């Protein structure tokens, strides 16, 4: 087939398509036509409206099924929310280890006292004396010296050895 014959054939096909579009019947195809009950209720007022209205009314019908809904191929299942474990309650604050060492005991006017080593100093203390800004001597017995850690108001025992 030569190029001239090909042009004539394409021209004839184009002319046949245009003629079919111009001379086509004015009714809408059956798959686009409005349902009969709805068409009677919403009938257009004039003949010009009936030709154009029947075609567009069914195409944009609000009762039609939605075609642009989101679809997913994933199986639908509930997403488990992570379980939040409550943090354990904070432990009660603990006092630091006692920084004192009992060196010996003494008795003066019937009141017991102790010699205490703190860092590089030696202190003499009785019940009720304050050793540092944070420690106070609560009581002195034959075997122990009890000190109170003032910031937490907690008592701690320090071994005092035997009787003097």
Q: Which residues contact 111 (CB under 8 A, 6 or more apart)?
A: 126, 127
- Give the pLDDT confidence score for residue 99 in this predicted structure: 93
Query: What does the pLDDT look like over 80-119, one tens digit per residue?
Result: 778 888 889 999 899 999 999 999 999 999 999 999 999 9
- Give the pLDDT confidence score for residue 32 in this predicted structure: 54
Q: Where are the domain boundaries for CATH 2.30.30 in the chain?
A: 100-159
Q: 100-159 in CATH: which number? A: 2.30.30
- Give the pLDDT confidence score for residue 18 in this predicted structure: 87
Distance CA 70, CA 14 (A): 40
Flag whether pLDDT at 33 surpasses 70: no
Contact assessment for residue 156 and residue 95, using Cβ atoms and an 8 Å cutoff: yes
pTM of the model: 0.45
Per-residue tokens: 46: 């004039």
Contact assessment for residue 115 and residue 106, using Cβ atoms and an 8 Å cutoff: yes
- Give the pLDDT confidence score for residue 40 in this predicted structure: 47
Stretch 19-24: mean pLDDT, rounded?
Answer: 84
Query: What does the pLDDT look like over 34-88, one tens digit per residue?
Result: 555 554 445 555 555 555 555 555 555 666 666 777 777 777 676 677 888 888 9
The SS3 assignment for 57 reads helix
Alpha-carbon Rg for the chain, nearest whole angstrom, is 52
Q: CA angle 122-123-126, nearest 5°? A: 150
């Amino acid at each position: 087939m030569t190029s001239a014959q090909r042009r004539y054939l394409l021209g004839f096909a184009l002319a046949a398509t245009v003629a079919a579009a111009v001379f086509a019947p004015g009714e809408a195809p059956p798959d686009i036509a409005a349902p009969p009950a709805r068409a009677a209720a919403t009938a257009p007022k004039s003949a010009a409206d009936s030709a154009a209205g029947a075609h567009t009314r069914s195409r944009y019908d609000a009762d039609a099924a939605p075609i642009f809904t989101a679809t997913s191929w994933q199986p639908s299942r509930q997403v488990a929310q992570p379980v939040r474990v409550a943090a354990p309650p904070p432990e009660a604050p603990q006092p630091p280890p006692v920084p004192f060492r009992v060196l010996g005991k003494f008795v003066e006017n019937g009141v017991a006292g102790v010699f205490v080593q703190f860092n590089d100093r030696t202190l003499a203390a009785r019940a009720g004396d304050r050793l540092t800004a944070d420690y106070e001597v609560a009581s002195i017995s034959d075997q122990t010296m009890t000190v109170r850690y003032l910031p937490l108001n907690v008592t701690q025992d320090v071994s005092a050895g035997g009787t003097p």
